[in-house]
Structure 1
C-alpha cells in the first residue's frame, strides 16, 4: 500500500500539522481520528488495513490529518471561549488549506469525509458546514452535540460547530445531494446521539441511512466492519 507522510505549517493554526496519505488515486476521503487521536491512529488500530482493498485498487485516496482536540474541545486548561475559537481555526485549516490541496492532487471538487467516535463529529461538522464540498458523509458512532465540552458556555463559534443546532435551519440545496450514513451499534454509547440526529435529518426530509448494527458496541471491531461496507456503496 502506498503511504506518504506529510507535514506542513498551517497558517490558520500557527502550528505544524501532520498527516498520512494512503493511495495515489481515487475518490478523496478525509478520515478523522477519535478523541485527541493522532494522524496515525487509523493505521495503528487496523482501520486502514480494513479498507486496503479500496486503496490498492485506486478507488479511494485517504487523507488522515492530525486533530487538535487537545488544544480545542478537550483543553480544560483554557476557557471555553478559546476552545470553540481554536476549533474554528481547525475548520479554517481543513477548508482553506487541506481541501484545496486535495482538489489539486485528485482533480475532484467534492470529497468524502469519515470518522469514528469523536472523529464522526469532525466528519459531520465539516460536511454540514460545507455541504457543497462533500458528497459522502460516513459518521461511525459519532456525536453531534458539542455542548458537553463547553461547561455551559455558548457563543456563535459553538453554535456553528454544533450540528444539532445549525443543521435544522441550514437550507443549502447541497444537503439533499449528499450520501449520508450514520453508523452505530445496538449497545453503542452514542446510539441515542445518532437516533436524535437521524430525527433532525428526517424532519428536513434529508435522505440518510441510520445503520444500527445488532449486538455491536462503541469500538474498533464495529468500525472496521462498517467503513469498508460504506465505501462499497459509494
Structure 2
C-alpha cells in the first residue's frame, strides 16, 4: 500500500500541519480524527488495515488529516467567537490547502468525508456547510448538537451546529447540492448521541434531503464497531 507523509506551514492556520495519504487512486476519503486523535490515529487504530483491500484495489484513497480541536471546540478557556473563528480557519485550510494537494495527486472528483465520534461531527459539519464539495459523508457515532461545548450561544455556534441550521436551510442551490450527497449516519442505539442522529436525519428529510440513518444494536462507540461500520458503508448505504 502506498503511504505518503506530508507536512507544511499552513498559511490559513499559521502553524505546521501534518497528514497521511494511503493509496494511489480511487475516490479520495477525507478522514477526520476523534476529539483527542491525531492524523496517524486511523492507521494506529486499525481502520486503514480493514480498508486495505479497498485501497489496494484503487477504489479509495485515504487522506488522514490532523485537527485543531484543542484550539477551537475544546479550547474552553477562549472566547466563543475566537474558538469558532479558529474552526473557520481550519475549514479554510482544508479547502485551500489540503484539497488542492489531493486533486493534484488524484483527479477523481468523488470526495468522501468520514470520521468516528467527534471526527464524525466534523465530517458532517464540513459537508453540510460546503454543499457540493463532498459527495458522500459517513458519520460514525457522531454528535450533531454541539451547543453544550459553549457557555455563550453566538452566530458562529449556530452556523456550526447542524441541528440548529439545517431546519432553516432555504437556499435552493444549497438544498439541491445536499440532495445529491450521500449522507450516512451510523450509531449505536445506546450511544448517548443517538438522539442527535435521529433528529438530524429527520430534519434533513424535512428538507427533502435523503439520508441513511443506521442504528446499530448496543453502544457501538469503539474502534472494533467503527471498523465494521466503515467497511459496510464506504461503498454506499447498505
Runs of 4+ in 1 over 4 A off after TM superposition: none
1:7-86 aligned within 5 A? 7-86=7-86
- What is the rounded CA distance, in whole Å, between the counterparts of 1:42 and 1:82 in structure 2? 29
Q: Does 1:4 align with 2:4?
A: yes
Partner of 1:166: 165
- What is the rounded CA distance, in whole Å, between the counterparts of 1:31 and 1:189 in structure 2? 23
Larger displacement relative to structure 2 (79-88 or 38-47): 79-88
Question: What is the TM-score normalised by the length of structure 1?
Answer: 0.95
Tell me the SS of whatever aligns to 1:125. helix
- What is the rounded CA distance, in whole Å, between the counterparts of 1:149 and 1:164 in structure 2? 14
| Superposition deviation, residue 110 in structure 1 | 4.1
Is the 1:121–1:144 contact (alpha carbons within 8 Å) kept by the matching residues of 2? yes
Which 5+ residue runs of structure 1 have no aligned equivalent? none
1:1-234 aligned within 5 A? 1-151=1-151, 153-170=152-169, 171=171, 172=174, 173-233=176-236
Tell me the SS of whatever aligns to 1:67. coil
Is the 1:36–1:68 contact (alpha carbons within 8 Å) kept by the matching residues of 2? no
| Superposition deviation, residue 155 in structure 1 | 2.4
| Superposition deviation, residue 216 in structure 1 | 4.1
For the aligned residue pairs, the C-alpha RMSD in angstroms reads 1.4
Paired residues, number: 233
- What is the rounded CA distance, in whole Å, between the counterparts of 1:232 and 1:109 in structure 2? 15
Question: What is the TM-score normalised by the length of structure 2?
Answer: 0.93
- What is the rounded CA distance, in whole Å, between the counterparts of 2:123 and 2:201 in structure 1? 15
Deviations 1:183-224 (A, max 9, x none): 001222221111111111121121111101112421111110
Deviations 1:87-133 (A, max 9, x none): 11111111121122222221133411000000001100110111211
Which 5+ residue runs of structure 2 have no aligned equivalent? none
